Amino acid sequence: MHDRTNIYADGGPLFKAWYDLSMQVEKSGLEKNLLELVKIRASQINGCANCLNMHTHDARKAGETEQRIHLLGAWEEAPCYSARERAALGWTDHLTQIATRRAPDAVYAALAAEFSAEEQVKLTLAINVINGWNRLAVGFHLYDPALGWPA
């Protein structure tokens, strides 16, 4: 599962708290498909092969279509996403690339039109968590062999 430090074995209580937070985000009440789209999109931006492999698999299991998974890289031009999904994906893009894209008022307005204040916080935490996992996975060369890496 790793070829560098084993974060699961060596992370201690702080990693356990991080892991527990990520599991709580899963139970936040936001739609499973929406969360998987957000995770895939952030992982595309961050170039995280492990998370892309895992979350495309999870999205398929949750009923997501191949078309919508493949079009995430060009979601702004693809008509197959709802207004709510578009708002979440726009927020994901901007927060994942915050140093260069910031969080402009227009992107926030689209978010606020589709998500309650509580949902906005939940979604933002979900985006933070997947960005954190991307950094852990890339930094420590995490991969899940159970999902396979066919050549």
- Please name the residues in contact with 84: beta carbons below 8 A apart, sequence gap of 6 or more: 34, 114, 115
Find the helix packing angle between 117-139 and 105-114, rounded to 10°.
120
Task: State mean pLDDT over 72-89.
Answer: 99
What is the pLDDT at residue 143?
Answer: 84
**The architecture CATH gives domain 31-141:** Up-down Bundle (1.20)
Residue that is written with structure tokens 């595309």 in the block: 44
Residue that is written with structure tokens 């939940």 in the block: 122
Instruction: Encode pLDDT of 3-47 as tens digits.
Output: 789 999 999 999 999 999 999 999 999 999 999 999 999 999 999
pTM above 0.75, yes or no: yes
